[in-house]
Chains A and B, each alone.
Chain A
Amino acid sequence: MASDTAVHDRATRTSPHESSSRVGALLFVTALVGLGLVTAPFAFQMFSRAPKGATMIADFKPFMTNQRLDGFQHDIAEIDGAVTQIDRARPPAAASNATYQEFDRQWPAINADMTNLLDTVQRNVGNYRAVAALPDFRLFPWFFVVPGVLIAGAAGVALRRPRSRSRSRRRLRVVLVALGVGLVLAPLVFDMFARAPKGGHMMTAFKDLETTQKVQRVQGYFSAMAAGQGAIRLDIEAALQRSGTDLPAVAALDRDWVHILNDMTPMIGAMSDNVGNYRAVAAMPPFPMFPWFFVIPGVLVAGSALLIRVPRNNATRRQGVS
């Protein structure tokens, strides 16, 4: 039995020096992966940028519904209806009103641009919902730091104890495998492979919307619409009433103008307030890459851990147990 044990030993076991070096190398790689996870949020400035992403997602929430966006589309269509009706009827009060004429001149471009903006936003309602369904952005840095500290810590402790007993080595392997598997599973649990690319699509779509230039242009549109509607409300509609001319679209706009202001002004505010937040999120790695920032380290950690051999103690050798 003793000779069988010796043969088994020779067949399955490298020399103590080689085994120790190999384990040390695997632990070193594991520690590096852990340190990489810890430093990644700092390298990508996630602690400052991720909260801005969270703010942006929260600020967009009231507007990223089909119902709300349909409402905005209706608001724009209502203005267009009034302008179209006035242009067809050509009441003298409109022709002689310089403020309205200036608005009328600008309106086709405003209408086209605002409709395009709203269409772009509405096409991304699903993408927004996917991103909003991910864990709070503020937690993201910690999803790297916490496992990174645990992995680097466990590997570091083991590196300082090269002659640890089999039970300790076994525990270490279990911990590292569990952490590695946890990292691999995290993107699956949070459905990141489906949601992250949608976040990427949304960020791409909003690239030309969340800029200072675009916001100022939309603010300019608001100024023009307010001036034009004011001319309609205060001058043209009164003249139409005096002349007995019935333009229902004009009356509807006048009736609904305050609601349009109530509705759209906060949306412009959210756009304006999130230019910086958008930039912060856009400065981080692209969304589709994020699942792999967990999976690749997870595979490396779990794989390295599985390659760590647990040394046999004297009791297990005598029993011929590997």
Chain B
Amino acid sequence: MPAQAGTPLIGTFRLAAGDCSGATPTGTYFRMIDPGGTIATGKYFANPDSTCADKSITVEQPGTDGGLVTGSFQPDPATPFDAFGNSLSGRILVARSFTAIKFGISTNPSDPQTHQKVTAPTITLQGNSLSGQITAWSAAWNKLYFNQGSPKPDGSRPGLTSPVIGTYDASTHAFVLTWASEVVGGPFNGFTGFWHLQGTFVAAG
């Protein structure tokens, strides 16, 4: 069925692996901005485990589900961490090393950091523009959780938190989704995660 204006896209946003070999990173990647910085110019947190020359970019690979599923949750496993604090979440993205400990991404009905009930991700297509909410987007690292959704579980958009926006090509189903989410609370309070998801949408059913 062809996509229409204001159409919810329910299915899997299959993610393309991140690539930082060129001047500008493509695919799926993450960047963390220091408190007081800006998304455009930084100052950025350098992840020494990044495989990119620009250590502020951490490229990602799709997880076992192929990427982000809208309309339902992709929760943390029953044992979310190993003994060293590495995240064992791997459905959306492959857990990547961040300063020597792996972080993983999940979406849960109850946000692990704030313990607030959240709704499953929703992305809506209007024309060739995407919008939506990924409030449930949660990062797990070092036996800690950081909500990286937009809007936040309480509906706010603190600091540099920006709405989920993107583009969609109806003929190829190619998409790009971006948003930023400030960490509220915990050791990374005030840092902001910028997320760039790219790939191909596959409708459910």
Please list the residues of chain A having a beta carbon within 8 angstroms of any beta carbon in chain B: 99, 215-216, 219-220, 222-223, 226-227, 229-231, 233-234, 257-258, 261-262, 265-266, 268-269, 272-273
List residues of chain A with CB within 8 A of the CB of B185.
269, 272-273
Interface string of B77-117 (1 = CB under 8 A from A): 00000001100000000000001110000000000000000
- Size category of the B interface is 20 to 34
Q: When A and B form their complex, which 10 residue pairs have the shortest distance between CB atoms, in order from nearest?
A: A230-B48, A268-B187, A269-B187, A226-B99, A269-B186, A272-B189, A265-B187, A227-B46, A258-B84, A262-B85
Q: Tell me how far the C-beta of B164 lies from the nearest C-beta in chain A, rounded to whole angstroms.
A: 26
List residues of chain A with CB within 8 A of the CB of B55.
99, 227
Q: A262 CA to B100 CA in the complex, in Å?
A: 11
List residues of chain A with CB within 8 A of the CB of B71.
none
Q: A222 CA to B49 CA in the complex, in Å?
A: 15
Q: Tell me how far the C-beta of A224 lies from the nearest C-beta in chain B, rounded to whole angstroms.
A: 9
Q: Once the chains bind, are B84 and A262 in contact (CB under 8 Å)?
A: yes
Given contacts A265-B187, A269-B186, 19 further A-B contacts (CB under 8 A): A216-B35, A219-B34, A219-B187, A223-B45, A226-B46, A226-B48, A230-B49, A230-B99, A233-B48, A234-B48, A257-B100, A258-B101, A261-B85, A262-B85, A269-B144, A269-B185, A272-B185, A272-B190, A273-B189
List residues of chain A with CB within 8 A of the CB of B189.
215, 219, 269, 272-273
B173 within 8 A of A: no
Q: List 9 A-B contacts (CB under 8 A).
A: A223-B46, A230-B46, A230-B47, A230-B100, A233-B48, A234-B49, A262-B85, A265-B187, A269-B189
Q: A220 CA to B34 CA in the complex, in Å?
A: 8
List residues of chain A with CB within 8 A of the CB of B84.
258, 262
Q: A233 CA to B97 CA in the complex, in Å?
A: 13
Of A99, A223, A258, A269, the contact of B100 (CB 8 Å cutoff): A258
Of A215, A223, A233, A272, the contact of B34 (CB 8 Å cutoff): A223
> Given A226-B48, A233-B48, A261 and B101 touching (CB < 8 A)?
yes
Q: A227 CA to B34 CA in the complex, in Å?
A: 14
Q: A231 CA to B36 CA in the complex, in Å?
A: 25
Interface string of B186-197 (1 = CB under 8 A from A): 111111000000
Please list the residues of chain B having a beta carbon within 8 angstroms of any beta carbon in chain A: 34-36, 45-49, 55, 84-85, 99-101, 142-144, 185-191
CB-nearest residue of chain B relative to A212? B190
List residues of chain A with CB within 8 A of the CB of B191.
219
List residues of chain B with CB within 8 A of the CB of A227.
46, 48, 55
Decide if the interface of chain A is mainly helix, strand, loop or mixed: helix
List residues of chain B with CB within 8 A of the CB of A99.
46, 48, 55
List residues of chain A with CB within 8 A of the CB of B34.
219-220, 223
Decide if the interface of chain B is mainly helix, strand, loop or mixed: loop
Q: Once the chains bind, are B46 and A273 in contact (CB under 8 Å)?
A: no
Q: Tell me how far the C-beta of B139 lies from the nearest C-beta in chain A, rounded to whole angstroms.
A: 13
Q: Tell me how far the C-beta of B46 lies from the nearest C-beta in chain A, rounded to whole angstroms.
A: 5
Q: A227 CA to B101 CA in the complex, in Å?
A: 13
Q: Tell me how far the C-beta of A107 lies from the nearest C-beta in chain B, rounded to whole angstroms.
A: 16
> Given A261-B85, A269-B187, A233 and B46 touching (CB < 8 A)?
no
Q: Tell me how far the C-beta of B80 lies from the nearest C-beta in chain A, rounded to whole angstroms.
A: 15
List residues of chain A with CB within 8 A of the CB of B144.
265-266, 269
Q: Once the chains bind, are A231 and B48 in contact (CB under 8 Å)?
A: yes
Q: Tell me how far the C-beta of A310 lies from the nearest C-beta in chain B, rounded to whole angstroms.
A: 58
List residues of chain B with CB within 8 A of the CB of A215.
189
Q: Once the chains bind, are A262 and B99 in contact (CB under 8 Å)?
A: no
Interface centre among B49, B101, B186, B187 (most CB of A within 10 A): B187
Q: Tell me how far the C-beta of B117 lies from the nearest C-beta in chain A, rounded to whole angstroms.
A: 22
Q: A262 CA to B99 CA in the complex, in Å?
A: 11
Q: Tell me how far the C-beta of A101 lies from the nearest C-beta in chain B, rounded to whole angstroms.
A: 14
Q: Tell me how far the C-beta of A92 lies from the nearest C-beta in chain B, rounded to whole angstroms.
A: 19
List residues of chain A with CB within 8 A of the CB of B85.
258, 261-262
Q: A81 CA to B24 CA in the complex, in Å?
A: 39
> Given A99-B48, A223-B34, A261 and B142 touching (CB < 8 A)?
yes
Q: A215 CA to B191 CA in the complex, in Å?
A: 12
Interface centre among A215, A222, A230, A231 (most CB of B within 10 A): A230
Q: A234 CA to B189 CA in the complex, in Å?
A: 27
Q: Once the chains bind, are B188 and A219 in contact (CB under 8 Å)?
A: yes
Q: Once the chains bind, are B187 and A272 in contact (CB under 8 Å)?
A: yes
CB-nearest residue of chain B relative to A224? B46
Q: A262 CA to B86 CA in the complex, in Å?
A: 10
Q: Once the chains bind, are B100 and A261 in contact (CB under 8 Å)?
A: yes
Q: Once the chains bind, are B186 and A273 in contact (CB under 8 Å)?
A: yes
Q: Tell me how far the C-beta of A163 lies from the nearest C-beta in chain B, rounded to whole angstroms.
A: 60
List residues of chain B with CB within 8 A of the CB of A261.
85, 99-101, 142
CB-nearest residue of chain B relative to A275? B189
Q: A229 CA to B142 CA in the complex, in Å?
A: 17
